[in-house]
Amino acid sequence: MDSSAIDRSSTENCAAELENVRAENAKLRSQNEALIREVEQLKLTGSSRIASPEVESSVEIAGLLSALKDSCISISYCDSDLRYVWATHFLESFAGKIVHGKHDDEIFPVQTKGLEEVTFLRKQALESGSLQMDYVQVFIPDRGHMTWLVIANPSFGHEGGKQEVPVGVITTCLNIPLAGDSQALVRSRTTEYELREAVRLTEEAIRAKNMFLSIMSHEIRTPLNGLLGLAQALESSGLDRDQRELLQAIVSSGTIIADILGDILDLASMESGAMKLETQPFSPADIVHEIAKMAVAATHEKGLEVLSYVGKSVPEVVIGDGLRVRQVMKYLVLNAIKFTQEGSVQIRLDSIPMLGTPDDPRFPSEELVTGREKRQKDQPVKSGCREGDFVLYCQIADTGLGIPKEAFATLFDHFRGLKFSSTINHGGTGLGLALCKQLVELMGGRLTVHSEVGKGSVFTFSVLCKSHDRDCSPEPTAKPVDNRPPCNHRRKEPKILLAEDNKVNVMVAISMLKRLGFTAQVVANGVEALEAMRKDKYDLVLLDICMPLMDGLQVAYAIRKFEQTGSWPEGIWDGNDSKELSTALEGFRNGGREEDSTGTSPRIPIIAVTANALRSDIERCFAHGMDAFIPKPVMFQKLREILSKYLPLPLEQQ
């Protein structure tokens, strides 16, 4: 081979070699760069702890970092010298410059407050190797005061073969809006809480008030009944005319007090939602006639005319709370009489079958008195009634003084009444109209008034009633005449139990009751009385106190106990004077109140009949649960008076 050929091939070889080397170099360089990048990544992400299997490629890591950089929280990574390695843009936006490689004090303006605390947290994290977290009050000029939640999290690396030590710290700062908006939020939450508290306290106060009224009225009622009982007893003793007149005045005042107490109790029980309405059959026409007769008697001296009218469409018997309807009507009529000096008082009763809601155009509308017509919260006016229900619609008109427009707004409020001079003489607590209104509304109706000063007033109320069940057996010879139902039951007759052992007394009592339109079941002693009560339901009990085997007091006690608890007292059937009687009397007395009786039965009126009219005897009667007492020998008027308080008297008796 010649040298030129060798030279040529060696040059070519060299060139090729050079190319190879260059290629290799380039490869190496890129590999190197890749390696460097990888190392950098590894350094940044710390130990293998953070490099989780999910984040495999550097591309993903880069993506994550990029996302972090753009997030709205400040996250940063500092080395062990607390120089920033990287940070999210958010932090950088605070600083206003790139933070890489710098300390906090080189980044933030001089007036910045809070950096020391952050630094402290980071140092703690590095030293302890555990997470540090705290609130830091920060001030950045141009940004203002902020509260940051600062979390400093150490990041670990290996140093040689040693244990993991913190090589840097990741700091997360969250801006907690405690100032400004958040404070308002906290404030409103506080206010809400305070408001709830206030409502709760108010409701409690109202409950307490009603309870107080109930209890006080009862406490007053018991000695008052005693007082009236004593007055009655006094009446039966020999009195001359002057004494009798004085006594009448005493009884009259006492009765007024008792009525007021009754009103207060009614109002309290209505407000507390404890008042329950009856659903018993009653005759609206009978009520009107009764009250008309009463009105005639009351207007005798004034010479007023009393007119009553019962519409043809008013059913003979309806189901509802007759006593309450009577109460309202009576009050309104008495009111009308009170304020009328001449002319007339009219009572008018109509009925309208319910076909729709109270706002139905067929429902009679009256000009409503403007004022605070607050409905009972739990007793909305019933709407959507079924067919077969009725509205009883009653108007009481008078030609009296009339009511001025100024008085309308407070007319139905408690304790207001009318505030003009001519009423000063008329007395009364002013509870009446408020009570009437509430009663009427409780019965699903409305109470309204029209009035003109000098001309008179018209009070109108409506109540919802159900039509009477027609399932009573018809009389065999009955022929339906003008749409009346075949059976003509006027009213459920009250069942009276009479416990009396003296035959003569029984005959007289039965005869008196018969005159009043009642019949009674007679038993001769306390044991028989309780047996009768176990077997049957009675509407009223007349109890002779001195009876053999078991006296009236024990009977009354047993009855009340049964009403309260649903069970009879121990040993009561032996007829012994059980010690349970004396020990339990106190507890019984407190528990035996009408309003909060949670027993299984309603409270039955128990009337003591006794010759003993000493105060201590009368008090014992009431303490054992009696409601009233009639002295012996029983006088017809007294019997009638007492019974009329608890039972509706049949029509003939008016």
Q: Which is nearer to another protein, 72 or 507 (CB)?
A: 507
Amino acid residing at 63:
G
The residue (of 274 and 613) whose beta carbon lies closer to another protein is 613
Q: Which is nearer to another protein, 189 or 514 (CB)?
A: 514
Residue 235: CB minimum distance to another protein, A: 11
List of long-range contacts for 287-294, beta carbons under 8 Å, 24+ apart: 287/322, 287/325, 287/326, 287/329, 288/329, 288/347, 288/349, 288/394, 289/651, 289/654, 290/326, 290/649, 290/651, 290/654, 291/326, 291/329, 291/330, 291/333, 291/347, 292/347, 293/654, 294/330, 294/333, 294/654
Kindly state the smallest distance separating residue 636's Cβ from another protein, in Å. 6
State the nearest-atom distance from the C-beta of 477 to another protein, in Å: 24
Q: How far is the CB of 637 from another protein (least distance, A)?
A: 9
The 3-state DSSP class for residue 587 equals helix
CB atoms under 10 Å from CB of 376, counted, come to 14
Q: Identify residue 228 by its one-letter amino acid code.
A: L
Give the integer Cα–Cα distance in Å for 325 and 290.
Answer: 12
Residue among 123 and 640 whose Cβ is closer to another protein:
640
H-assigned helices in 180-321: 181-236, 241-271, 284-298
CB closer to another protein out of 345 and 509: 509
What residues contact 335, with CB distance under 8 A and at least 6 apart?
432, 433, 459
The least CB distance from residue 506 to another protein, in Å, is 9
Radius of gyration of the chain (CA): 47
Give min distance, CB of 635 to another protein, in A: 6
Cβ 471 to another protein shortest distance, Å: 32
User: Which residues would be at the binding site for another protein (CB under 8 A)?
Assistant: 501-505, 507-508, 511-512, 514-515, 546, 548, 611, 632-636
Q: How far apart are CA 411 and CA 391, in angstroms?
A: 24
What are phi and psi for residue 544, nearest 5 degrees?
A: -75, 135
Q: Which residues contact 122 (CB under 8 A, 6 or more apart)?
A: 78, 82, 132, 152, 169, 171
Residue from 385, 391, 335, 400 nearest 365 by CA:
391
Distance between CA 430 and CA 418 in Å, rounded? Answer: 8
Cα 222 from Cα 621, distance rounded (Å): 10
- Quick one: 53 or 238, whose CB is closer to another protein? 238
Whose Cβ is closer to another protein: residue 196's or residue 503's?
503
From the CB of 502, what's the least distance to another protein, in Å? Answer: 5
For the bound state, the minimum distance from the C-beta of residue 544 to another protein, rounded and expressed in Å, comes to: 9
Beta carbon nearer to another protein, 439 or 509: 509
Q: Which is nearer to another protein, 143 or 503 (CB)?
A: 503
